[in-house]
Structures are given as structure tokens and as C-alpha cells.
Chains A and B, each alone.
Chain A
Amino acid sequence: MKSKAEVVVIGGGSTGTSIAYHLAKLGVDVVLLEKGYLGNGSTFRCATGIRQQFTDEANIKLMRYSVEKWKKLSEELEYDVNFKQTGYLFLATTEEEVEAFKQNIKLHNKFGVPTRLITPEEAKEIVPLLNADEFLAGQWNPTDGKANPFKTVFAFARKAKELGAEIYEYTEVTDIIVENNEIKGVKTNMGTIKADIVVNAANAWAPIINEMAGLDREFIPIKPYKHQLVKTEPLKEGQIEPLVCPPAWNDSYVIQDGEDGGVICGTGLEHGPTYDVTPTYDFLREVLKWATRIIPALKYVHVLRQWAGHYAKTPDSNPAIGKVNSIDGFYIAAGFSGHGFMMAPGVGEAMAELIVKGKTHVPLDWEWYDPHRFERGELRSTAFQIG
């Protein structure tokens, strides 16, 4: 193991590997540490969705930029991450929701996201198996999409290594060395690495890393909530290509995996805070109740797998991204609340530029994601969690 680096990134998920890649691209000598295998935290358990349909300017702008990056990512990383723009379709069951959709659409359009209101008939054309009779209207954006989380993390890591980054898996951080409020290095179960800059990209585990750096665990109050998914046997391509979600039905959603065509089904049922990721039977019944109501034909489709991961939630469901002012050289990008994978290309580039240049050309609103907002008792408008 190397004994010295310019920057140490802690956490080998989509965010950490993206930051490491973008730092290496800027010529930084970077080491990435992951306590398990790459992606094993939240990324490899996510539902693959990538969307720009948020309800606030900051997340819409960041995701619009991130989608532009997603479009070129396979080419840039020279590895197919299977990004597809198959859209996100939200469905309304009440007139109030239709009104809310209209407001959302105005906001999306203002920032260049081409969302539009569609009729149930149009929704059925997009998703032929949809139980369209139950819905009044759809909020449809064909430029949202999905990608392969496994290949994405692998591609970021592979390219980062090609550019000189060192990545150590199964390497657990045991302490952060801080002297006179300055980062000096990181201790691991495999040895110590001297570094002046450390990035905490540990998502659900970020409060533990913060504590190692001498901060209060509640400084950024990220809590791990168990979220589960089930996946069915493959269906013919094109049956349920977009992510389909009636938010009023307990935030339930279905989306056909872009890789093998199996249907991934999720719902708002959560457990926690807990680091436990054992699948539960109550979830299986809850998720399938809604999934078979959205797509009745799913009744006849076999369920193959159920698993769980974390939503690393902050009190406003927006991540903490930026510099920690009280410790020189300490940065954080964590608490993604279920949106880490979709944001990773944009966030990785922005963080790398912030560290190297002190600013970024990425439209990332540092004020909005300020890690110090919780300390001040300030919250942002809550980001809707789905996909």
C-alpha cells in the first residue's frame, strides 16, 4: 500500500469512484479506500434510475448537467455503462396531483428539461401493459433514463486506475489523522497513508468517518434506512421501459432493467435507521400489491430476487456536498438519500474541480448542498425520493 497521496477518497461507490476518476483526470495523485468490494454499499443495490424531474432548481440543474454527462460517459470511460434515455413517467390519481404536475412541468421546462403532461391514453402508448384507467394524467420526461450501476462503478474505477489512481478494496478506514484542525492522513487496517486532503464519500457510513475526523456524528445527520427491491424474470424489451411511478401509491414504481429486461419493483416501505440489509416479507407483499396494480400482467411473472440497500437520508433528503470549514483539507459528498448513482457523474466532476481549482464549472449550487446547513438548523425543500 502507498504511504502517501495528495488526496484520499473514502468510499468506493458511484460517488467515490467518480470523484477519484475526475481527480486523476486533473492529474491528482489519488488513493481510494473501500471497506468491502467496490459498489457494495448503496450503488450496487439501487434501482438504476436517472432522472431530472425534481421539484427545486438546484437538483434539476445538477441532474440536467449530469444527464448530459451520462450521455457521453461510455465514450469518455471507454466502457459501455449501458445508459439509455427511456424516460420517467409519473402518474396522477387526483386532480390535486395533476395541478402539482403542471407546476413541476413549468419548473422543469424553465431549466430546459422537456417534461410534459400526457393523457392516460398516451401513457398507455409508452407503457403498453399499464393499467391506465386508474390514472388522470402523466408527467412524462423522455430524456430521463437508466444505466448499469455495476458497469458504471467498474468503468470509473478502471479509468481512474489507468490515469494513475490507486484503489484499495477490503481496506477499512480506522482513523483520520487531524492536527491543529488540518488533515494529515488516514489510518486503515492495512496501514497508514499520509495526505493533506480527505474526501468523505462513505454515504450511509459518512457520520462514522466524520466522527473519526473529530466532528460530532450529528454534524451531518445522515441516517441509514433500509430500502428493498424485487426483480422479476426478464420480459421482452419495451414492455415497461421507463420508470413508472404513481407517487400516491406509496411511492411505488416499476422499471425494466436495461440490461436483461427483468422488472425492478420498489415501494416507499422503509425500515430503520439501521445498517441491517436483510430482506423482509412485509416488503415483498407491499411492493407486489402496488406493482401488480400498476401493471396487472405482472401477476403472471416470476419474482427471482429480493434484496435491500440503504437510502442514506439527511433531514431534507438532499446530500451534503462541499468543504468542511472547521477542518482544513476535509471534504464531503454523502447523504444522497437515494440519488447518489444518478448524480455521480456531475458530483464527481464538481468535487474534483472544487478540490483542485477551488471552484467548478458544473452547475452545482454549493449553497444548497452546504454540509453546514444542518448545524445552523437550516433545511432545503425536501427532495422527492424515487428510483
Chain B
Amino acid sequence: MSEKGERIICRCNEVTVEEIEALIEQGVTDIEMIKRLLRIGMGPCQGRTCLPMVISIIARKTGKSPDEIKLPATRIPIRPVPAGVLVGDMNEE
């Protein structure tokens, strides 16, 4: 949790509005690069919480329409799964 009352946008990787805005102000306006430099959308929730908000921030700061900003790829598995379950030997001990 943030100690300075900053507004957290990505709860998985604790990224704040301020960090996203600062990056956009430095000229990084592509969601693909913002994602990778700040690791938004790359945590356990895969961006369910943060990506719509990040799109709004980019749209607001760049004057683009939110529809113009494409969502980054969603990666499988959609929900976190223990590796043992995927291998099929979770019950062997």
C-alpha cells in the first residue's frame, strides 16, 4: 500500500497514477511501452483492474479517444494456476 496517499492504479505491482503520468509526460505514450516499463497488467490479475484506467489516463493526457488505444495481449492462463496442477502430479508426494 502507498504510504504517501498516492493513488494506486495497478494493485498487483503497486503502480501509481503519478508514475504513469510522469512517463507520459516524458513522451512515452504507447500502452505497450508503458506496460513494460511500469509492469502494469503483468501481475496475477493480468490487468483486469488497471488496464481500463491506464487507457483513460493515456486518453486524457494525449487527447486520443480511448477507442484508439488497443488493449495489450492477454496471456494464458487467465487465472493463476499452480504448476503442479498443470503437470498433473499434485497428489503424488
Contacts and interface: CB of A to CB of B under 8 A. Distances in A.
Contacts of A279: 75-76
Contact of A299 (B44, B46, B89): B89
Interface string A270-303: 0000000001000011001101100000111111
A167 to B, nearest CB: 11
Given A38-B33, A154-B37, A306 B76 contact: yes
Contact of A169 (B30, B42, B75, B84): B30
B63 interface: no
A56 to B, nearest CB: 33
A157 to B, nearest CB: 9
A237 interface: no
Interface residues of B, number: 26
A82 B82 CA distance: 28
Contacts of B43: 304
Given A260-B13, A279-B75, A292-B87, A302 B37 contact: no
Contact of B82 (A289, A291, A301): A301
Nearest to A39: B36
Given A259-B39, A299-B89, A306-B77, A37 B84 contact: no
- Chain B at the A interface: mostly helix, strand, loop or mixed? loop
B83 A37 contact: no
Contacts of B89: 292, 299
A2 interface: no
A154 B83 contact: no
A307 interface: yes
A305 B42 contact: yes
B35 to A, nearest CB: 9
A304 B44 contact: yes
A10 B79 CA distance: 38
Contacts of A169: 30
A37 B82 contact: no
A291 B83 contact: yes
Contacts of A259: 39
Contacts of B21: none
A302 B75 contact: no
A37 B32 contact: yes
Contacts of B76: 279, 284, 305-306
B39 A289 contact: no
A307 B39 CA distance: 15
B33 A304 contact: no
Contacts of A38: 33
A44 B82 CA distance: 25
A289 B87 CA distance: 6
A171 interface: no
B90 interface: yes
Contacts of B82: 299-303
Nearest to B31: A37
A292 B80 contact: no
B86 interface: yes
Contacts of B84: 292, 299-300
A150 B77 contact: no
B1 interface: no
A327 to B, nearest CB: 33
Interface string B56-93: 00000000000000000101110011111011111000
A32 to B, nearest CB: 15
Contacts of B36: 39, 44, 150, 154
A299 B77 contact: no
A292 B83 contact: yes
Contacts of B13: 260
A25 interface: no
6 contacts: A154-B37, A285-B86, A291-B83, A292-B83, A299-B90, A304-B43
The 5 closest A-B pairs by CB, nearest first: A299-B84, A302-B80, A150-B36, A305-B75, A37-B32
Interface of A: 37-40, 44, 150-151, 154, 169, 232-233, 259-260, 279, 284-285, 288-289, 291-292, 298-307
Given A298-B83, A305-B75, 10 more contacts: A38-B33, A40-B32, A154-B28, A233-B80, A284-B76, A288-B83, A292-B83, A299-B84, A303-B86, A305-B76
